[in-house]
Structure 1
C-alpha cells in the first residue's frame, strides 16, 4: 500500500471514529474527552484488535490489515455499505501506475454523438472526454479549454455552472465532492489528482470544508434541475453506465423528466452524512 493511500485510510478511519458517540455503541461516556467521538482504544476494543495496531492504521504507518480486520473495523465504526466498500478498497494494494487520461473508443464516441438527448463520457478523474451536441447546448463543453473540461472544475469553479444549478448548486456540488472522494482516495498522491485538488481549493471556497468531512458517495441515477439562460427551467432524469472497453469510462445520459415523477429522487443522503 502506498504512503498516500495509507494516509487516506488513516484519515477516513479518524473521520468516522469522531462521528460516533460512546452511547451509540453501548460504551460508558467516562472521563473527559479532548475530541468528540470514540477514543482509539475504544475502536480497537469494539473491533477486537490491538490498540497499537489500530493507532498504526490511523497514523498511516506501514501495516497491511487483513480483510477480516477491515470488516471488524467497519462493524465497529458502524459503516454503511458504500463506506465499507471504500474502506476495503483503501486497504487493498494494487500495482498503481501514474494516471494517464483515458481514450474514448471510436465506437462509443459515435454512439454518444448519435443520441438526441444530452450525453457525455467522463474518465476516472472526471474529465469530460466526449459529448454530443445536445449536451453542449446545456453545459457548453465546447467553449472550454481542454484542461478546464472537467465536471468538478466546471461545477465548483465556473460561474456558468453555478448559474445552471441556481439555489441547488451547493447540494449538487457537495454530492459530487463525496462521489469524487471515493475515486480520488485510490489515486492519492498521483500528480494529476493533486493538481485537480489544488484547482478546486483555489476556485471554490466551500470545497475544503466538504473535502475534510471525508463523505463518501456512490454514483446513482437521479434527477437534475437546471436553469438555462436561453431554455429556462429544465428538469432531467439521468443515469450513468460503465464502458465495457474501459471501466474507467462512464457514459452519462439525460432525458427530460416526466411530470409527476418523484421530485425527491435525486436527494438521497450522502454516505455517512
Structure 2
C-alpha cells in the first residue's frame, strides 16, 4: 500500500497523510449550508476542490497542489481560512498545520468570555478540596489565583481570589524569608516561566502587565531577567519552605503542576510534603 495512505512499505502505520485528511474533511461538509455555493446537480456530497479554493481565496490549482501533498510555503492566514472552510476542530486544525508546515499553529488570543467558559468553577473547587490535607490552588495564565483549598490558606494566609502568585513570590519581602533559597530555587525558575508564557502568548495583555509590573518594582527581578532563562513548568520540582504555619520549621515539598486538557490558560498546583530525603510523601 502507498505510504501516503497511512501505511509504510512494510505495513507499519505512519499516520494519516495530508491528502487523505483533506479529502475526508471536504467530504463531510454540507455545501447546502454555505451561502453562495451552487448545490444543484452535484454528483457527490461534500465540497469539491473548486469549492474549497473559492472559500479560501486561492486558485483551484493552488489548492490541488496542497491536496496532492506537495510542499509549499503555506501561510498561517491561508491555513486558518482552510480550517474555517472545512469546519475543523481545534485538534484537526493542529493536525493540518503539522502535516502542511511541520509545526503547530500559534496560540491565538482568547477572549475573556471564552476564558471564563473554559473553567468549571464548581468542579475545580471540588478537585482542590479533594487534595486535602495537601495545599492546592489554581491560577489563570497570568498567575492570578482563581481557587484554593483550606490547607493552602493555612500555609499562605495572603492568598485570596485574584491575588497574584508571582507578585507575592517576587515582590513581597516575606517571600524571601519563607521560600528557602529564594533566588536560585524560586525567583529564577518562576521568572523563567513568565518568559516562557510570554513567548507563547505574546498578545496576552495580562501577562504583559505582569512582566512590566514585576520588572519595574524589583531591581533584583530585573537583574535576573537579564539572564534570559526560560522554564516551562515546576512539575516535580523539590523545594523547601519555612512558614509561620510550621512555627519556622523547614519543610520539604514536591510540586505537582497540572493543566486541564481543555485549556492551557489554567494551571493547578498541589504541594506534597515529603521526608527530608525528598523521596516520598
TM-score in terms of structure 1 length: 0.56
Partner of 1:254: 271
Query: How many Å separate the matches in 1 of 2:198 and 2:241?
Result: 27
Counterparts in 2 of 1:251 and 1:214: CA distance versus 1, 3 Å: same
State yes or no: 1:223 paired with 2:238: yes
Q: Deviations over 1:15-34 (max 9, x none)?
A: xxxxxxxxxxxxxxxxxxxx
Deviation at 1:97, TM superposition (A): 4.1
Q: Secondary structure in 2 aligned to 1:213?
A: coil
State yes or no: 1:151 paired with 2:170: no
Q: Secondary structure in 2 aligned to 1:236?
A: strand
Higher relative contact order (CA 8 A, sep 6+): 1
Aligned ranges 1:1-273 → 2 under 5 Å? 93-97=106-110, 102=116, 103-114=119-130, 115-142=132-159, 144=160, 146-147=161-162, 149-166=163-180, 168-171=181-184, 172-219=186-233, 220-231=235-246, 232=248, 233-261=250-278
Query: How many Å separate the matches in 2 of 1:230 and 1:124?
Result: 28
> CA contact under 8 A between 2:253 and 2:278: conserved in structure 1?
no
For structure 2, the 5+ residue unaligned runs are: 1-74, 77-100
Q: Secondary structure in 2 aligned to 1:181?
A: helix
Q: Deviations over 1:112-146 (max 9, x none)?
A: 0232211111221111111111111112244x5x5
Q: Deviations over 1:48-107 (max 9, x none)?
A: xxxxxxxxxxxxxxxx79xxxxxxxxxxxxxxxxxxxxxx9x995444245676545311
Counterparts in 2 of 1:109 and 1:245: CA distance versus 1, 3 Å: farther
Deviation at 1:217, TM superposition (A): 0.9
> CA contact under 8 A between 1:223 and 1:257: conserved in structure 2?
no
Query: How many Å separate the matches in 2 of 1:217 and 1:249?
Result: 17
Deviation at 1:108, TM superposition (A): 1.7
Query: How many Å separate the matches in 2 of 1:198 and 1:126?
Result: 14
Query: How many Å separate the matches in 1 of 2:176 and 2:269?
Result: 20
Query: How many Å separate the matches in 2 of 1:92 and 1:213?
Result: 28
Deviation at 1:173, TM superposition (A): 0.4
Counterparts in 2 of 1:117 and 1:158: CA distance versus 1, 3 Å: same
RMSD: 3.1
Query: How many Å separate the matches in 1 of 2:153 and 2:183?
Result: 23
For structure 1, the 5+ residue unaligned runs are: 1-63, 66-87, 263-273
- Aligned pairs, how many? 175
> CA contact under 8 A between 1:99 and 1:192: conserved in structure 2?
no
Deviation at 1:205, TM superposition (A): 1.3
Larger radius of gyration: 2
